[in-house]
């Protein structure tokens, strides 16, 4: 548990403490950044992690996945800001790379950041403060999405995230680049990132669901990370990954399978991916399943339109991404 601060005079770091009692220490945070071959974007992500206004120690663990380990430019270490670069020693892909970082980390808290994203300076401070106040085991926050010339902000609704909400929404605003959670939970009862998910699709959503079953997830209701959507984004057009990954998640999580809106949402996504990959008959079947469970779920009709050939999946995605949304 993260020790809650008191409400007395400030300590030597400007943080509140109880009169006559030592102020609580700020927990060490390990930022896990998995990367492949995007050195310029990676340098920005690392610089933003090192530039946190956090009073505690931040170590950045850069995990190179399916790429040679390289030094990260411009990362001078200090006692409170440290950088390590290591190779992914587990399953190839994002899940294995993140787990490699978690196992190697020295921090009490683990934070994820994609290599094409960047944190705002107050991210960690605000999240640790929120976790203490809410006695939470995880914190997330909002994001600012940049797609070409379009910029949109997304923030998870409510003060906390529960399983019921996640059963029918992936909560795009609760982006993995805003995740902050306890390392002991990942190494213990919660478990590591699931490396068995096909193509690693939805590993962040799977983790969020598992955390929500286990404890409280608090929301910091403001932008904590700048997120870049671009053609090089890993899952921007991986239709096979979406088809197989969604099927895996639907089978793994009864919360989704037992929720009519959840089934409609997931089957609508699968239908769209099937249509985009040219599997029109399967797409139509999945779209009908989606509509049967929730007639107002929009993904099923979109899939039918794509399957009919009236509009391309690429065009639909361009419009959605420009609005800060995905399928």
**pLDDT per residue over 123-143, tens digit each?**
999 999 999 999 999 999 999
Task: Please tell me the distance from the alpha carbon of residue 323 to that of residue 211, in angstroms, as a whole number.
Answer: 29
- Cβ(303)–Cβ(268) under 8 Å? yes
Per the domain annotation, does 20 fall within a domain?
no
Q: Same domain, yes or no, for 98 and 154?
A: yes
Structure tokens at 65: 């996945």
Task: Please tell me the distance from the alpha carbon of residue 327 to that of residue 218, in angstroms, as a whole number.
Answer: 25
Q: Same domain, yes or no, for 154 and 175?
A: yes
User: What is the pLDDT, as a whole number, of residue 207?
Assistant: 97
- Cβ(195)–Cβ(90) under 8 Å? yes
Q: Same domain, yes or no, for 128 and 270?
A: no
Strand 58-64 with 81-87, pairing: parallel
- Conformation bin of residue 119: beta by default, left when phi > 0, alpha when psi is -120 to 50: beta
User: What is the pLDDT, as a whole number, of residue 24?
Assistant: 66
- Cβ(23)–Cβ(17) under 8 Å? yes
Task: With a cut of 50, list the residues of the chain below it in pLDDT.
Answer: 1, 3-23, 234-235
User: What is the pLDDT, as a whole number, of residue 75?
Assistant: 65
Task: Please tell me the distance from the alpha carbon of residue 17 to that of residue 265, in angstroms, as a whole number.
Answer: 47
Task: Please tell me the distance from the alpha carbon of residue 308 to that of residue 27, in angstroms, as a whole number.
Answer: 54
Per the domain annotation, does 9 fall within a domain?
no
Q: Same domain, yes or no, for 35 and 81?
A: yes
Per the domain annotation, does 19 fall within a domain?
no
Q: Same domain, yes or no, for 218 and 253?
A: no
User: What is the pLDDT, as a whole number, of residue 13?
Assistant: 40
Q: Same domain, yes or no, for 165 and 48?
A: yes
User: What is the pLDDT, as a whole number, of residue 322?
Assistant: 79
Q: Same domain, yes or no, for 312 and 167?
A: no
Residue ending a domain, choose from 197, 228, 259: 228
Full residue range of the structural domain in which residue 171 is found:
29-228
The tally of domains found in the chain comes to: 2
Q: Could you report the per-residue pLDDT of 4-15, keeping only the tens digit for each?
A: 333 333 333 444
Per the domain annotation, does 4 fall within a domain?
no
Q: Could you report the per-residue pLDDT of 238-251, keeping only the tens digit for each?
A: 899 999 999 999 99
Return all residues near 24 (Cβ < 8 A) that are at least 6 apart.
Answer: 3, 4, 5, 6, 15, 17
Per the domain annotation, does 116 fall within a domain?
yes
Task: Please tell me the distance from the alpha carbon of residue 192 to that of residue 321, in angstroms, as a whole number.
Answer: 30
Per the domain annotation, does 3 fall within a domain?
no
Residue ending a domain, choose from 228, 248, 264: 228
Structure tokens at 235: 């899952």
User: What is the pLDDT, as a whole number, of residue 232?
Assistant: 55
Q: Same domain, yes or no, for 73 and 145?
A: yes
User: What is the pLDDT, as a whole number, of residue 8?
Assistant: 33
User: What is the pLDDT, as a whole number, of residue 74?
Assistant: 63
Q: Same domain, yes or no, for 52 and 117?
A: yes
Per the domain annotation, does 23 fall within a domain?
no
User: What is the pLDDT, as a whole number, of residue 16?
Assistant: 39
3-state secondary structure (DSSP) of residue 263: helix
User: What is the pLDDT, as a whole number, of residue 7?
Assistant: 32
User: What is the pLDDT, as a whole number, of residue 230?
Assistant: 65
Q: Same domain, yes or no, for 109 and 245?
A: no
Structure tokens at 78: 């200090």
Residue ending a domain, choose from 196, 228, 260: 228
User: What is the pLDDT, as a whole number, of residue 326?
Assistant: 81
Q: Which ranges constitute the DSSP H helices of the chain?
A: 39-50, 94-104, 123-134, 163-166, 183-187, 203-214, 239-252, 254-257, 260-276, 280-293, 299-308, 313-322
Per the domain annotation, does 6 fall within a domain?
no
User: What is the pLDDT, as a whole number, of residue 170?
Assistant: 86
Q: What is the dihedral of CA 159, 162, 164, 170, to 10 degrees?
A: 90
Q: Same domain, yes or no, for 190 and 300?
A: no
Q: Same domain, yes or no, for 264 and 191?
A: no
- Cβ(252)–Cβ(258) under 8 Å? no
212 backbone dihedrals φ, ψ, rounded to 5°: -60, -30
């Amino acid at each position: 548990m993260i020790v809650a601060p008191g409400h007395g005079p400030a300590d030597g770091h400007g943080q509140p403490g109880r009169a006559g009692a030592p102020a609580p220490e700020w927990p060490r945070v390990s930022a896990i950044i998995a990367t492949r071959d995007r050195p310029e974007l990676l340098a920005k992500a690392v610089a933003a992690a090192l530039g946190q206004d956090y009073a505690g120690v931040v170590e950045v663990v850069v995990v190179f996945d399916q790429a040679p380990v390289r030094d990260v430019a411009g990362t001078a270490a200090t006692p409170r800001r440290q950088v390590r670069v290591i190779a992914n020693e587990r399953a190839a892909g994002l899940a294995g790379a993140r787990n490699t970082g978690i196992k190697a980390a020295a921090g009490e808290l683990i934070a994820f950041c994609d290599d094409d994203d960047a944190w705002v300076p107050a991210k960690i401070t605000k999240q640790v403060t929120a976790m203490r106040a809410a006695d939470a085991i995880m914190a997330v926050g909002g994001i600012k999405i940049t797609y070409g010339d379009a910029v949109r902000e997304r923030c998870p609704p409510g003060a906390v995230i529960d399983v019921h909400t996640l059963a029918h929404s992936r909560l795009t605003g609760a982006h993995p680049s805003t995740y902050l959670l306890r390392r002991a939970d990942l190494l213990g009862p919660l478990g590591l990132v699931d490396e068995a998910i096909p193509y690693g699709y939805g590993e962040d959503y799977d983790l969020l669901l598992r955390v929500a079953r286990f404890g409280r997830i608090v929301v910091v209701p403001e932008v904590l990370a700048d997120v870049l959507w671009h053609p090089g984004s890993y899952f921007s057009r991986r239709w096979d990954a979406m088809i197989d990954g969604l099927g895996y998640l639907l089978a793994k999580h009864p919360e989704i399978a037992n929720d009519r809106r959840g089934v409609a949402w997931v089957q609508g996504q699968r239908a769209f991916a099937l249509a985009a990959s040219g599997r029109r008959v399967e797409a139509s079947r999945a779209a009908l399943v989606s509509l049967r469970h929730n007639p107002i779920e929009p993904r099923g009709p979109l899939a039918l339109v794509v399957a009919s050939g009236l509009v391309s999946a690429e065009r639909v995605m361009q419009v959605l991404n420009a609005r800060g949304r995905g399928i």
